C-alpha cells in the first residue's frame, strides 16, 4: 500500500468537528489513507481550537508534539485565524489556515504530499483542460462583484464578490507555469477588490505569510518568472502600490481599467466604482513612475441620458488621457439591467454615430502613439506564424485577442509559441506594429520583463 498517509488530530467544538469530517472525507475521496499514529503518517493535519486560553495551550501543545513526532504538520481551525500565534510559536509548520477552509487545507496537503495516482482523473493534465494556447492562460482570482453598475447584470448572475484564497491562486499559477505557460492573465470582475470579502485573510505560500490582497498576490506572482498581466482593475487608491512592481519589471507594465465613461453625470448614472477618483491625475502619476505603462480601457457610448456635452467630455478625456488601447460599445439594453429604466434613452442612430466618432477619435491617438515606437526595440512573445509566413507576436502592450500585435517580416523558421525575442520596430498603423527580429538572447523569466520595460516607450 503506497497510498500517501495522513494523520489527523481534531480538537475543539462540534463546529470544528464538522470541519474535520469534511477534510477527512475529502482526503479519503482523493485516495489518501488516514492513519492512527504519527509514525505511520507522511504528514499530520491538526484542526485547532482557539476559544479560551486553555484551548489555545492544548492546540499549541498538540502542534508541538506532532512536529516532534512527525515533522510535517498543517494547521487549520480557529487558532489559525488568530493572527500569527501558530507561526510564531511553531515556525516549522508547513501551512496555517483558519476554520472552515477545506479548499485551503486540501491545497496545502496537495502541495506537501501529492495526491495518489487515479487512473480516471489522471488522464487530465495537472493544469486542467485549457481553451487557450499552451503559452498563456487566464488566472481567475475571484467570482462575482459587490458593485451594482446600472448597465450590468453580472452580480445578479454570479452573486457578490467571492475571492479565492491566495494560496489556491498561487498554487494554480505555479502549476500553470510548470506546464509551460509563459504569460498569466489575471482576471475577475473587479481585480482591485480582491480579498475584500474575506477581510484580506492571512495565508501562507512557500512558508511565507501573506495576505489575500492584490499587492501580495501580484508581488508573489511576479516571482514565477513569467509575464503577469492585470485585467479589470478599478482605479482605487491602493492600485498605486502596484505601479512600482511594474516599474521594476516584476509584472508587465500594463493595466486594463474599464473606465466606461468620463462625464461625471453619466458615471454617476452608471454607478461606477471609483468614479470620484481623479483619474487623469492618477494616470499622469502612474506614467511618471513607470513611463512604459500601457493603459487599456473600454467605454460605452449612448448610455441613457448621455447628451452631446457628455459625449464631448468623453472625447476630451481621450485627448487628455492618451490611452494606449481602447475598446468601445454602443449601449445595449441588456434584459434585467436597471439602466433600461432610466429616462432619455439615446436613439439608435445617434448611438451609432457616436460610436463611429469615438473610434475615429481614438484611432488617431492610437496611430500617433504607435508611431512613436518606430526605431525602438521591444521584447515580444511569439504567438505563432500567420498563413503568409509572417510571425505574430505581442509586446507588454498587447493582451491576446483584444489588443494589437507585432507583425514580424522575414522571421526565422520554427520559433516556438511563447518564445521571448527582441524586435526592432520599423512601421506602425492604428493598431499594430511591424518590425524585424534583432535578438534572441533574452534571459528567461523575471529579468526578461525588466528588460521589456527598459526598452519600452
Ligand atoms: S460592470 Fe463590473 S464592477 Fe460593475 S457591476 Fe458589473 S461586474 Fe461589477
The verdict on the CB of residue 147 being under 6 Å from ligand 1 is yes
Which pLDDT belongs to residue 263? 94
Dist. CA 149 → ligand 1 center (Å): 5
Residue 293 backbone phi and psi in degrees, to 5: -60, 135
Nearest residue by C-alpha to atom 2 in ligand 1: 189
The verdict on the CB of residue 448 being under 6 Å from ligand 1 is no
Which pLDDT belongs to residue 16? 80
Which pLDDT belongs to residue 282? 92
Instruction: Give the residue among 432, 430, 431 at the shortest CA–CA distance from 409.
Output: 432
Instruction: Give the residue among 177, 185, 227 at the shortest CA–CA distance from 380.
Output: 227
Residues across the chain: 457
Dist. CA 117 → ligand 1 center (Å): 41
Could you tell me which residues are beta bridge partners of residue 439?
422
How far apart CA 237 and CA 193 sit, in angstroms, is 11
Instruction: Give the residue among 221, 216, 211 at the shortest CA–CA distance from 252.
Output: 221
| Half-sphere exposure at residue 59, Cβ-oriented, CA atoms within 13 angstroms | 31
Which pLDDT belongs to residue 277? 61
Which pLDDT belongs to residue 149? 92
Work out the angle between the directed axes of helices 166-178 and 214-221 (0-180°, nearest 10).
20
- Which ligand 1 atom sits closest to the C-alpha of 190? 3
- Which ligand 1 atom sits closest to the C-alpha of 232? 2
98 Cβ neighbours under 8 A, 6+ residues apart: 76, 77, 78, 80, 81, 201
| Half-sphere exposure at residue 53, Cβ-oriented, CA atoms within 13 angstroms | 0
Which pLDDT belongs to residue 445? 41
The verdict on the CB of residue 155 being under 6 Å from ligand 1 is yes
CA distances from 345 to 261, 304, 351, 354 (A): 16, 4, 10, 14
Which pLDDT belongs to residue 450? 39
The verdict on the CB of residue 189 being under 6 Å from ligand 1 is yes
- Which ligand 1 atom sits closest to the C-alpha of 146? 8
The verdict on the CB of residue 154 being under 6 Å from ligand 1 is yes
Which pLDDT belongs to residue 452? 41
277 Cβ neighbours under 8 A, 6+ residues apart: 235, 236, 237
How far apart CA 81 and CA 372 sit, in angstroms, is 52
Instruction: Give the residue among 444, 448, 385, 398 at the shortest CA–CA distance from 425.
Output: 398
The verdict on the CB of residue 190 being under 6 Å from ligand 1 is yes
Query: Which residue is associated with the grid cell 509551460?
Result: 180
- The helix/strand count (H/E) of the chain reads as 13, 20
CA distances from 107 to 26, 113, 166 (A): 11, 10, 11
Which pLDDT belongs to residue 442? 57
Which pLDDT belongs to residue 334? 81
- Pull the grid cell for residue 234: 478599478
- Which ligand 1 atom sits closest to the C-alpha of 152? 6
Low-confidence ranges of the chain (pLDDT < 70): 1, 83, 120-121, 274-277, 441-457
Nearest residue by C-alpha to atom 6 in ligand 1: 152
Nearest residue by C-alpha to atom 7 in ligand 1: 189
How far apart CA 81 and CA 132 sit, in angstroms, is 37
Dist. CA 310 → ligand 1 center (Å): 21
Nearest residue by C-alpha to atom 4 in ligand 1: 149
Dist. CA 57 → ligand 1 center (Å): 46
Which pLDDT belongs to residue 154? 84
Query: Which residue is associated with the grid cell 479589470?
Result: 232
pTM of structure = 0.77
Dist. CA 297 → ligand 1 center (Å): 14
Of all residues in the chain, what percent carry a pLDDT higher than 70? 94
How far apart CA 145 and CA 138 sit, in angstroms, is 18
How far apart CA 156 and CA 179 sit, in angstroms, is 35
The verdict on the CB of residue 273 being under 6 Å from ligand 1 is yes
Amino acid at each position: 500500500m503506497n497510498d500517501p498517509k495522513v494523520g489527523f488530530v481534531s480538537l475543539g467544538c462540534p463546529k470544528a468537528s464538522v470541519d474535520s469530517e469534511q477534510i477527512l472525507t475529502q482526503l479519503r475521496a482523493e485516495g489518501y489513507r488516514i492513519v492512527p499514529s504519527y509514525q505511520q503518517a507522511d504528514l499530520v493535519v491538526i484542526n485547532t481550537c482557539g476559544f479560551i486560553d486553555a484551548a489555545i495551550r492544548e492546540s499549541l501543545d498538540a502542534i508541538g508534539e506532532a512536529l516532534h513526532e512527525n515533522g510535517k504538520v498543517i494547521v487549520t481551525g480557529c487558532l489559525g485565524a488568530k493572527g500569527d500565534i501558530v507561526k510564531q510559536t511553531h515556525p516549522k509548520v508547513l501551512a496555517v489556515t483558519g476554520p472552515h477552509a477545506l479548499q485551503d487545507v486540501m491545497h496545502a496537503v496537495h502541495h506537501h504530499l501529492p495526491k495518489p495516482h487515479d487512473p480516471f482523473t489522471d488522464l487530465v493534465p495537472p493544469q486542467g483542460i485549457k481553451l487557450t494556447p499552451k503559452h498563456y492562460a487566464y488566472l481567475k482570482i475571484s467570482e462575482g462583484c459587490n458593485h451594482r453598475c446600472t448597465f450590468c447584470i453580472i452580480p445578479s448572475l454570479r452573486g457578490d464578490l467571492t475571492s479565492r484564497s491566495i494560496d489556491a491562486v498561487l498554487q494554480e499559477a505555479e502549476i500553470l507555469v510548470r506546464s509551460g505557460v509563459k504569460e498569466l492573465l489575471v482576471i475577475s470582475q473587479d481585480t482591485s477588490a480582491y480579498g475584500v470579502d474575506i477581510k484580506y485573510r492571512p495565508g501562507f505560500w512557500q512558508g511565507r505569510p501573506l495576505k489575500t490582497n492584490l499587492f501580495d498576490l501580484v508581488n508573489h506572482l511576479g516571482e514565477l518568472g513569467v509575464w503577469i498581466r492585470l485585467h479589470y482593475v478599478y482605479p482605487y487608491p491602493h492600485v498605486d502600490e502596484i505601479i512600482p512592481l511594474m516599474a521594476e519589471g516584476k509584472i508587465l507594465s500594463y493595466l486594463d481599467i474599464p473606465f466606461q465613461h468620463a462625464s461625471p453625470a453619466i458615471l454617476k448614472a452608471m454607478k461606477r466604482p471609483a468614479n470620484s477618483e481623479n483619474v487623469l491625475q492618477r494616470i499622469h502619476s502612474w506614467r511618471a513612475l513607470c513611463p512604459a505603462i500601457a493603459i487599456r480601457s473600454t467605454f460605452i457610448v449612448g448610455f441613457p441620458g448621455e447628451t452631446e456635452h457628455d459625449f464631448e467630455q468623453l472625447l476630451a478625456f481621450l485627448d487628455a488621457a492618451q490611452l494606449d488601447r481602447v475598446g468601445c460599445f454602443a449601449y445595449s439594453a441588456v434584459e434585467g439591467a436597471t439602466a433600461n429604466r432610466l429616462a432619455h434613452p439615446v436613439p439608435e442612430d445617434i448611438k451609432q454615430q457616436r460610436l463611429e466618432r469615438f473610434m475615429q477619435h481614438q484611432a488617431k491617438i492610437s496611430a500617433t502613439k504607435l508611431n512613436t515606437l518606430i526605431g525602438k526595440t521591444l521584447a515580444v512573445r511569439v504567438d505563432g506564424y500567420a498563413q503568409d509566413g509572417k510571425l505574430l507576436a505581442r509586446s507588454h502592450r498587447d493582451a491576446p485577442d483584444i489588443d494589437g500585435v507585432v507583425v514580424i517580416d522575414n522571421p526565422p523558421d520554427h520559433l516556438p509559441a511563447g518564445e521571448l525575442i527582441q524586435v526592432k520596430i520599423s512601421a506602425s498603423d492604428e493598431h499594430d506594429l511591424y518590425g524585424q527580429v534583432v535578438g534572441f538572447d533574452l534571459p528567461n523569466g523575471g529579468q526578461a520583463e525588466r528588460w521589456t520595460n527598459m526598452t519600452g516607450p
